[in-house]
């Protein structure tokens, strides 16, 4: 009988401990952190959404998008992102890289095809095509490109939008982020934000 009581007492203590831990760590802590996020960093806490002039959410500043037509061809009036290895293009539900090494024959062939396509689209020699224009990011969803790749596209986008190259250059500069902590990485351009700014300036 004493063993049974001890077992029931131990079980009761364990159950109450689990219940308290669940309420404190699983519910109260989660609500507290959510509240802090909404009060201090609401934009970041909600996924860094980007809205157009009409107030509709059109994407996230953290996730790349494809700016192509139904046939997968680049839209001339938009800046193009890096190639995407996530699913069928920039698929947010299938973030991944290709895992191809630098000597992989398929990767070498894909880079050659991409370089030729970018050179033709921008009207430049293949030697002028930056590396990030032909290689996918590890996540497949990187919204950023190099400043060099952005500037390569300025003339095409300006002509397609009926804007001056100076206007488009200014937009690129506005959406260029410098090195982290002033020394890490390279300056980069957020293509999703840049294209949204283009739509707001010249729909």
The confidence score (pLDDT) of residue 68 equals: 86
List of long-range contacts for 36-40, beta carbons under 8 Å, 24+ apart: none
Residue bearing tokens 């050659």: 112
Cα–Cα nearest to 168, from 144, 202, 142: 202
Same domain, 146 and 188: yes
Same domain, 148 and 177: yes
Same domain, 98 and 191: yes
- Judged against a pLDDT cut of 80, whether residue 27 lies above it is answered with yes
The confidence score (pLDDT) of residue 171 equals: 93
Q: How confident is the model at residue 86 (pLDDT cuts 50, 70, 90)?
A: low
Same domain, 56 and 151: yes
Same domain, 23 and 98: no
Same domain, 52 and 132: yes
Average pLDDT, the chain: 84
Percent of the chain with pLDDT over 90: 31
The confidence score (pLDDT) of residue 15 equals: 87
Same domain, 70 and 19: no
d(CA 132, CA 105): 19
Mean pLDDT of 57-73: 82
pTM for the whole structure: 0.76
Q: What is the pLDDT of residues 103-159, one digit of tens each?
A: 888 888 888 999 999 999 999 999 999 998 898 877 767 889 999 999 999 999 999
Lowest mean pLDDT among 5-14, 16-25, 109-118, 187-196: 5-14
Same domain, 37 and 77: no
Contact 114, 83 (CB under 8 A): yes
- Judged against a pLDDT cut of 90, whether residue 2 lies above it is answered with no
The confidence score (pLDDT) of residue 84 equals: 75
The confidence score (pLDDT) of residue 174 equals: 92
Contact 86, 164 (CB under 8 A): no
Percent of the chain with pLDDT over 70: 91
Q: How confident is the model at residue 88 (pLDDT cuts 50, 70, 90)?
A: low
Q: 103: domain range? A: 48-201
Q: Domains in the chain: how many in total?
A: 2
């Amino acid at each position: 009988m004493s063993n049974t009581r001890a077992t029931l007492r131990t079980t009761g203590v364990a159950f109450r401990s689990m219940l308290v831990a669940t309420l404190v760590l699983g519910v109260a802590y989660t609500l507290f952190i959510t509240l802090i996020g909404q009060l201090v960093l609401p934009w970041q806490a909600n996924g860094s959404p980007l809205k157009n002039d009409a107030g509709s959410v059109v994407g996230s500043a953290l996730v790349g998008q494809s700016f192509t037509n139904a046939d997968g061809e680049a839209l001339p009036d938009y800046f193009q992102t890096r190639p995407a290895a996530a699913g069928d293009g920039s698929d947010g539900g299938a973030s991944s890289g290709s895992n191809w090494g630098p000597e992989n024959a398929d990767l070498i062939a894909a880079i050659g095809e991409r370089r030729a396509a970018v050179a033709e689209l921008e009207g430049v020699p293949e030697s002028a095509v930056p590396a990030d224009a032909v290689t996918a990011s590890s996540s497949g969803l990187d919204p950023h490109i190099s400043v060099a790749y952005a500037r390569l596209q300025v003339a095409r986008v300006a002509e397609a939008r009926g804007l001056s190259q100076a206007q488009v250059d200014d937009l690129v500069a506005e959406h260029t982020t410098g090195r982290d902590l002033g020394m890490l990485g390279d300056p980069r351009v957020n293509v999703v934000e840049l294209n949204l700014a283009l739509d707001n300036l010249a729909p």
